[in-house]
Amino acid sequence: MDKKQYGWAICMACALLLFCTAGLAQTGFSAYQPYLTRIGGLTNTQASTVVLFRNLFGLAGMLAVTPLIRRFEVRRIVTCGILLCGVSFLAYGFSRSFFGYCGAAALSGCALGLGGMIPASVLISRWFNEHRGLALGICMAATGLSVIVASPIITLLVSRVSL
């Protein structure tokens, strides 16, 4: 595979990364909100506080990601980000208390910082001299696509199986 074709493979991998970290765990989180109050037993204030924790830890992750990329390889940082995203969903699934949901939200916020747009932009910039904007646009479109594709599936699964 030549560099041009491999660049598009990197673009699709970054789109999948953003589909999960920025889409499922962040943008599409509103699909989980009513179930956190109804099934999770949280009040509306607590459910909103979970989002606050996610956003605060997302900010911390975004502030930390650039120094981490300088110190470690960007692939390792992205791998940690996607693993944190998976662990955060496991933590959400096993949580039975407000503090458990806050911990899961902190993990998903860190996942966004470590596996979000900043490292995806670094990867795209390394592989694209031309069509960089197009590649970044495709990656960002994956976050919206996750809401369109995953939200109905999530709603169906939660209503039929459980949160």
Residues 69-108 have pLDDT tens digits of 999 999 999 999 999 999 999 999 899 899 999 999 999 9
Locus of tokens 């039929």: 160
Residue 10: count of CB within 10 angstroms of its CB: 19
Tell me: the pLDDT tens digits for 18-60?
A: 999 999 888 888 888 888 888 888 999 999 999 999 999 999 9
Concatenating the DSSP letter of every residue in 77-124 gives HHHHHHHHHHHHHHHHHH--SHHHHHHHHHHHHHHHHHHSHHHHHHHH
**CA-CA distance, 100 to 117, in Å (whole number)?**
27
Looking from the CA of 52 toward its CB, the CA atoms found within 13 Å total 8
Structure tokens at 47: 């459910």
Confidence of residue 163 (pLDDT cuts 50, 70, 90): low
